[in-house]
């Protein structure tokens, strides 16, 4: 039935950003409505990130959605960088006093959905033609179709949490929006397999044949990636070819522990660095992939989205609780300062760890020199470690 619904905050996108924001607002007594162009099972089925910063764990604890994470997550105190078979462990615990948590984004999303549904959250799934409207007015609205009917959500604020291909960023006028992008000349082919991980910690490897990453979801489920041509046909990557390539790129020591098996998920993801400025226009705020994308090399995408949501929920709660608009007025400037630092780290690690077709002998030696510097300098290792465990919120 066509109609108009009123709420305080209309959240476009029910991925991790939108779900976490809705939960943090609800904990402060602020009402929201969530829209998504997919449904819950599709959203939960997407296999993406695997490593959570301590700040992300803290946000999920604050949201009351971290119980299963603490039961099933794997705390990690370090990870390895490998270069043509040489391996160096970055001891993040010793270097920063912090650790990271290995726990899939799929599980985070399920935990947040369970929390929101238990609270009776209003969702509109399978929406279409989403149009954030009247963004500069004090009564912005979001128009969309749902089950063949035209719907309108009238609200005080709109949170654009609808990812890279969403409608929110597009609602910012072209003469206001600035975008910055670097598309990488390769992709990541990722697989999931129910076999124990090759190592108890993650291994990021640069080999002359290309990058590889050994990750995991549990002690019996592994997640592996190899750099590939983003236009590769998945059919050309049999499991046998994948395992052979992964073993070569990880090096003989790691390969000796590699347990192979039938993959049950196989996909190719493009890599890009992307930032849209500003992250606020009138009474609409952008958070997460709607505003920025990082290459997954630094394990930052999901964590950056969570950091945005922590700053955005602080701003909206200060408004509703204390009529204080300082954090709303400074949101875009504050969040973008951190976004660019995380973009830089993700770009730097991607530049160091991948084979670029245009690289000459000089760039390859620069990559190896970066690795050697990290191996020999505690300062260089600490710089990597501080970014990997997560920068302060501001």
For ligand PHB, the binding residues (CB under 6 A) are: 49-51, 202, 213, 215, 223, 296-299
Residue 197, both tokens:
């991980």
Is 80:203 a contact under the CB 8 Å cutoff?
A: yes
Asked if 296 interacts with ligand FAS (CB under 6 A), we say yes
Smaller CB separation from ligand FAS, 224 or 371? 224
Q: Is 331 among the catalytic positions?
A: no
Q: Is 337 in the site for ligand FAS (CB under 6 A)?
A: no
- Interface stretch with ligand FAS, choices 8-16, 148-156, 276-284, 325-333 (CB under 6 A): 8-16
Task: Kindly state whether residue 65 participates in binding ligand FAS, applying the rule CB under 6 A.
Answer: no
Kindly state whether residue 141 participates in binding ligand FAS, applying the rule CB under 6 A: no
Among 37, 76, 146, 280, binds ligand FAS (CB under 6 A): 37
Choose among ligand FAS, ligand PHB, none what residue 223 binds, the Cβ cut-off being 5 to 8 Å by kind: ligand PHB
Sheet strands (E) in 125-177: 128-133, 141-146, 149-154, 157-160
| Rounded-to-integer distance, Cα 32 and Cα 142, Å | 13
Backbone angles phi, psi at 24, to 5 degrees: -70, -35
Closer to ligand FAS by Cβ: residue 136 or 165: 165
Rounded CA gap, 229 and 120, in Å? Answer: 44
Binding residues among 227-286 for ligand FAS as defined by CB under 6 A: 269
State yes or no: is 388 an active-site residue.
Answer: yes
DSSP per-residue string spanning 341-392: HHHHHHHHHHHHHS--TT--HHHHHHHHHHHHHHHH-HHHHHHHHHHHH---
Nearest approach in angstroms of CB 120 to ligand PHB is 32
131 is catalytic: no
CB atoms within 10 A of CB 278: 17
184 is catalytic: no
Q: What angle do CA 289, 290, 295 make, to 5 degrees?
A: 30
CB 12 within 8 A of CB 171: no
Tell the smallest beta-carbon distance from residue 299 to ligand PHB (Å).
3
DSSP-assigned states of every residue in 326-344: HHHHHHHHHHHHHHHHHHH
Q: Does 105 bind ligand FAS (CB under 6 A)?
A: yes
The verdict on 35 binding ligand FAS (CB under 6 A) reads yes
Give the Cα separation of 304 and 53 in Å (integer): 9
Pairing of strands 100-102, 86-90: unpaired
Among 81, 161, 203, 271, binds ligand FAS (CB under 6 A): 161
The option from ligand PHB, ligand FAS, none interacting with 295 (CB < 5 to 8 A, set by class) reads none
Nearer residue to ligand FAS within complex by CB, 272 or 326: 272
**Measured between alpha carbons, how far is 335 from 312 in angstroms, rounded to an integer?**
9
Q: Does 7 bind ligand FAS (CB under 6 A)?
A: no
Residues that bind ligand FAS (CB under 6 A): 12-18, 35-38, 43, 48-50, 105, 127, 130, 161-163, 165-167, 269, 288-289, 296, 299-303, 305
Catalytic residues: 76, 204, 296, 300, 388
């Amino acid at each position: 039935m066509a109609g108009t619904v009123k709420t305080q905050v209309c959240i476009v996108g029910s991925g991790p950003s939108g779900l976490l924001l809705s939960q943090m607002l609800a904990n402060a007594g602020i009402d929201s409505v969530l829209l998504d162009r997919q449904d819950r099972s599709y959203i939960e089925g997407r296999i993406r990130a695997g490593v959570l910063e301590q700040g992300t764990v803290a946000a999920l604890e604050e949201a009351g959605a971290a119980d299963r994470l603490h039961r099933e997550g794997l705390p990690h105190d370090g990870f390895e960088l490998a270069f043509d078979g040489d391996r160096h462990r970055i001891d993040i615990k010793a270097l920063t006093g912090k650790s990271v948590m290995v726990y899939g984004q799929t599980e985070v999303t399920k935990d947040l959905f369970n929390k929101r549904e238990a609270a009776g959250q209003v969702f509109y799934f399978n929406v279409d033609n989403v149009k954030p409207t009247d963004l500069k007015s004090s009564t912005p609205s979001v128009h969309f179709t749902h089950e063949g009917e035209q719907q309108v959500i009238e609200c005080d604020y709109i949170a654009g949490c609808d990812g890279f291909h969403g409608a929110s960023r597009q609602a910012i006028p072209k003469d206001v929006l600035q975008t910055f992008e670097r598309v990488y000349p390769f992709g990541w082919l990722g697989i999931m397999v129910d076999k124990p991980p090759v190592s108890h910690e993650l291994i990021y490897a640069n080999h002359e044949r290309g990058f590889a990453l050994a990750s995991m979801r549990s002690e019996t489920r592994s997640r592996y990636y190899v750099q590939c041509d983003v236009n590769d046909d998945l059919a050309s990557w049999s499991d046998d070819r994948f395992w052979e390539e992964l073993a070569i790129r990880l090096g003989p020591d790691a390969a000796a522990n590699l347990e192979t098996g039938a993959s049950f998920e196989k996909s190719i993801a493009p890599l890009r660095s992307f930032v849209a400025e500003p992250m606020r226009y009138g009474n609409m705020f952008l958070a997460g992939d709607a505003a920025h994308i990082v290459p997954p090399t630094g394990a930052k995408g999901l964590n950056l989205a969570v950091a945005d949501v922590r700053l955005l929920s602080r701003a909206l709660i200060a408004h509703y609780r204390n009529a204080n608009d300082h954090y709303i007025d400074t949101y875009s400037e504050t969040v973008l300062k951190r976004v660019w630092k995380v973009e830089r780290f993700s770009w730097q690690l991607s530049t160091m760890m991948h084979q670029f077709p245009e690289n000459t002998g000089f760039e390859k030696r620069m990559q190896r020199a970066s690795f050697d510097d990290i191996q020999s300098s505690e300062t260089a290792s600490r710089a990597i470690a501080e970014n990997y465990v997560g920068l302060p919120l501001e």
